[in-house]
Amino acid sequence: MILGLDVSTSITGASVLDANGGVVFCEAWDTRNKNHFPDLYNKASFIKGRLLDLSIHFRIEHIYIEQSLQAFRPGLSSAKTLLTLAKFNGIVSYICQSDMGIKPEYVGASSARKLCGIKVPRGEKAKEVVLKNILDNTPDFSIQYTKHGNPKPGSYDRADSLVVARAGYKLWKEKSSKS
């Protein structure tokens, strides 16, 4: 089975695909509450628990993690945010390797979308395009909306983790066929 992760310090998306690429698990793990998760260590401990739960319920063989942002983009993330995200991504990667015994592989967001055939038209937000694609093409994937009609928190993270898992599945199949 393949685990795809969209790691974030606020909400982490996690999706598991079976050997045929079917979705068997897709959740968002919310660590935004500052009282419950005052620092990265508390967040990491929570994510570790969720990952270990997954490894009990599913025979995870491969883990793919969305690569953290590598460069500044005007109007988006500050240096502090990029550093914190990279640090947390590293912690989660270490948990995967040390506690689950699986060295994760990384896939960039745009590469994952491309592998899944998702094209983001110029001027449109990638997260919205991905969510619409997943909703349109994954019958069992559903989301809830706020009273203002926006996707509830975690929806984009779940969709992103599913794209990472599907991209990982394709990469794994490609590697397997060459062996």
Q: What are phi and psi of 52, to 5 degrees?
A: -65, -35
Strand ranges (DSSP E) for 54-119? 62-66, 105-107
CB-CB contact of 11 with 28 (8 Å) = yes
Determine the angle formed by the axes of helices 79-100 and 40-57, rounding to 10 degrees.
Answer: 40
The amino acid sitting at 109 is A
- pLDDT at residue number 74: 55
- pLDDT at residue number 49: 96
**CA nearest 10: which of 27, 30, 37?**
30
- pLDDT at residue number 105: 96
- pLDDT at residue number 73: 52
Q: How far apart are CA 38 and CA 27, in angstroms?
A: 22
For 2-178, CATH number out of 1.10.1840.10, 3.10.450.50, 3.30.420.10, 3.30.2090.10 equals: 3.30.420.10
The amino acid sitting at 79 is A
Q: List the domain boundaries for the chain.
A: 2-178
Q: What is the pTM of this model?
A: 0.91
User: Strand pairing of 105-107 and 62-66?
Assistant: parallel
Q: How far apart are CA 82 and CA 67, in angstroms?
A: 12
- pLDDT at residue number 43: 96
Q: Mean pLDDT, 10 residues at a time, over the chain (179 residues)?
A: 95 96 96 93 96 95 86 60 87 95 95 94 93 93 94 96 97 84
